[in-house]
Amino acid sequence: MRIKRMLESGRGLAIAALCIGAAGSSHALSLTVDGGEITGVGGIEIQGKMYDVAFADGAFNALYPAELSGYGQLAQDVAQALLSASDSGTLKAAPKWQPGLRLRGCSSQTSCTILIPEQSTGAAPVAQTTYAREVIYADAQFRSVTAKLWPFDASTDTKQMPDMMYAIITPAR
């Protein structure tokens, strides 16, 4: 009865809104921004687990921990989550968002490609080829995810490629 009276008086709606807001903010997507560049995206939820993604230039064999041969299905799931964050407007609502943000490591004026390794022949630091999901970032949004995996020489350094970088996925802290 007391809950019914609170709802009827309008106070209940305010309390419900505060509760929903507090629950939603604990899983909010966040951007890591340094020097006006996006260096990562945190708070990506995949099947009830939270992940952080950092963007980095380098070679697969130098960036990833020993024995990693790719992220498997997690690569596709994270790629789709980044795309969904842009499509839904969540990315632009994230703390630290500002117009004109670019990805760290991308000097292209039009678009950048984020490589998310799904599988490799061998494991870091001696993999030969890595097959990656590609996420395209353009006009301050994650725009598309490639349908097929693209092969890359695991020793190729993306510092030499002005429009490419890798994504490093870690469990959120």
pLDDT in tens, 65-76: 999 999 999 999
- CB 35: neighbour CB atoms within 10 A? 6
The mean pLDDT of 112-134, rounded to a whole number, is: 96
pLDDT in tens, 42-66: 999 998 999 999 999 999 999 999 9
The mean pLDDT of 86-93, rounded to a whole number, is: 88
Domain ranges of the chain: 27-171
Return the biggest CA–CA distance within the chain. Answer: 68
The pTM score is 0.81
Of 142, 143, 134, 137, which Cα lies nearest the Cα of 166?
134
Per the structure block, which two tokens stand in for 106? 């991308």
The mean pLDDT of 119-125, rounded to a whole number, is: 96
∠112-117-55 over CA atoms, to 5°? 45
∠130-165-45 over CA atoms, to 5°? 85
Residue 10 predicted with pLDDT over 50:
no
Residue 108 predicted with pLDDT over 90:
no
Q: What are the two backbone dihedrals, phi and then psi, of residue 158, each rounded to the nearest 5 degrees?
A: -70, -10
- CB 20: neighbour CB atoms within 10 A? 10
pLDDT in tens, 143-166: 999 889 999 999 999 999 989 999
d(Cα 12, Cα 4) in Å, to the nearest integer? 8
